[in-house]
Amino acid sequence: MPLDLVPIQRRSLLKAAALTMSTSFASPNRKPHVAVIGAGAFGGWTALHLLRNGATVTLLDTWGPGNSRASSGGETRIIRATYGPRRQYVDMAVRALQLWKENEKRWNCRLFHRTGMLWMAGAADETERASLPLLREAGVEFDELSAAQASKRFPQINFDNVKWAIFEKDTGFLTARRNCQTVLEHFLAEGGEYRETSVTPGALQGREMTAVTLSDGSGLSADQYVFACGPWLGKILPDVIGDLLRPTRQEIFFFGVPAGDLRYSEGQMPTWIDHGQEHLYYGVPGNEWRGFKAGDDTRGVKFDPTNSDRTPSPEAIRNVREHVEFRFPGLKGAPLVEARVCQYENTPDENFIMDRHPGAQNAWLLGGGSGHGYKHGPAVGEMMAAFVLGKKPLDPFFELARFKR
């Protein structure tokens, strides 16, 4: 019987064997077995990269990749390289885009929509100014547009309050839950194993994590465990992550465009981020025929990803509608056709966590997407797989210890 199917009660007898297995990871002849917990944008891509780098991989998720509670759920996500002074993410976005495209070709399916991405800058434009040299260094193709030039190019947008804009030519949006499902499909086709089950971390013994427990009470023993649990990461690892990760309520809305009017659809309308005022609004055109998507990036109230109510709030609808009507005057009075309530999983500095568990050599922490993680999935997965397999040293920028320095 494979070790991961042995009932938990009998596992104590096998604990020593399991530990020997986990430390025998260094053996050159045996493939390391890695369990990845969480099949969202971060976990799914990590599992795939581990597999492609020679590991035996079991991917586990309570409700499935891109499920309706997950942060990777819903229709679309923006991919852009404008990131202010944060070089790590500029480079990561460039690498991620390359990987999204490579896998599109490899799988012969569409993951990415090249609409271009228009970032509107207001009077306080330090972030945008800081972005320019990094975009150039990373080889990102973009135009720097005055408000007048931008207005000429995109006459359906009202550029009041906008000082200037960056138009990234080769970015746009990604389909979200659909891509997570596609990653799983190909992970399976390439030889990975997937189980729909809820995972409880194993006890720590010495410097090792012992087998994790599954919802049916059985145990799963692997050489390495990667916890990529999105907004649940603090809950599943309260002593290590706990309140460092704060899920917040975020609402997005889809407005119906006038019949036959293509100005707000893919082709004529770019994916956009509006930093023309204090709040940062963002949106995706066409959005796979679901309507004109718009949201406010301001962090909402604390949110429980398992049980919090996901009914859209009238205040948020009013706020986003007001903004849409101001910035896109042709959408005045557009009906709300769909809405979603999701959550960001924020770290204090809004940077990701990619690190080894401080109490276990064989356990890893991955998360803290902080409202901007999706696009980076393939690059995060590539990097995390290299950390886990010992092919790359950890990057202090993503380490947990930064919060204690």
Sole binder of ligand FAD in the list 22, 58, 250, 319 (CB under 6 A): 250
**Nearest distance from C-beta of residue 173 to ligand FAD, angstroms:** 7
Sole binder of ligand FAD in the list 32, 43, 270, 291 (CB under 6 A): 43
Site for ligand FAD in 203-242 (CB under 6 A): 228-232, 236
Site for ligand FAD in 308-347 (CB under 6 A): 342-344
Return the half-sphere exposure (C-beta side, CA atoms, 13 A cut-off) of residue 341: 20
**Nearest distance from C-beta of residue 271 to ligand FAD, angstroms:** 8
- By beta-carbon proximity to ligand FAD, the closer residue of 199 and 209 is 199
Q: Quick check: 61 binds ligand FAD (CB under 6 A)?
A: yes
**Nearest distance from C-beta of residue 3 to ligand FAD, angstroms:** 19
Say if residues 384 and 354 touch (Cβ distance below 8 Å): yes
Sole binder of ligand FAD in the list 21, 35, 39, 145 (CB under 6 A): 39
Tell me the three state secondary structure of residue 103: helix
For the record, the structure tokens of 10 come out as: 């009998």
What is residue 7's DSSP assignment? B
Sole binder of ligand FAD in the list 6, 34, 35, 41 (CB under 6 A): 41
Q: Quick check: 371 binds ligand FAD (CB under 6 A)?
A: yes
Sole binder of ligand FAD in the list 6, 18, 34, 37 (CB under 6 A): 37
Say if residues 24 and 17 touch (Cβ distance below 8 Å): no
- In 3-state terms the chain splits into helix, strand, coil percentages (rounded to 5) of 35, 25, 40
Tell me the three state secondary structure of residue 164: strand
- By beta-carbon proximity to ligand FAD, the closer residue of 310 and 402 is 310
Q: Please state, in angstroms and rounded to a whole number, the distance separating the CA atoms of residues 34 and 227.
A: 11
Q: Quick check: 383 binds ligand FAD (CB under 6 A)?
A: no
- By beta-carbon proximity to ligand FAD, the closer residue of 229 and 240 is 229
Q: Please state, in angstroms and rounded to a whole number, the distance separating the CA atoms of residues 219 and 202.
A: 9
Sole binder of ligand FAD in the list 25, 34, 38, 354 (CB under 6 A): 38
Residue identified by tokens 């970015």 is: 171
Sole binder of ligand FAD in the list 67, 277, 308, 351 (CB under 6 A): 67
Q: Please state, in angstroms and rounded to a whole number, the distance separating the CA atoms of residues 176 and 178.
A: 5
Angle, vertex CA 139, rays to CA 265 and CA 380, nearest 5? 75
- By beta-carbon proximity to ligand FAD, the closer residue of 30 and 110 is 110
Give, in order, the Cα–Cα distances in Å from 174 to each of 69, 95, 154, 229, 276. 19, 15, 22, 21, 24
- By beta-carbon proximity to ligand FAD, the closer residue of 13 and 48 is 48
Say if residues 129 and 179 touch (Cβ distance below 8 Å): no
Binding stretches for ligand FAD (CB under 6 A) = 37-43, 60-63, 67, 70-72, 77-78, 198-199, 228-232, 236, 250, 252, 295, 342-344, 367, 369, 371-375
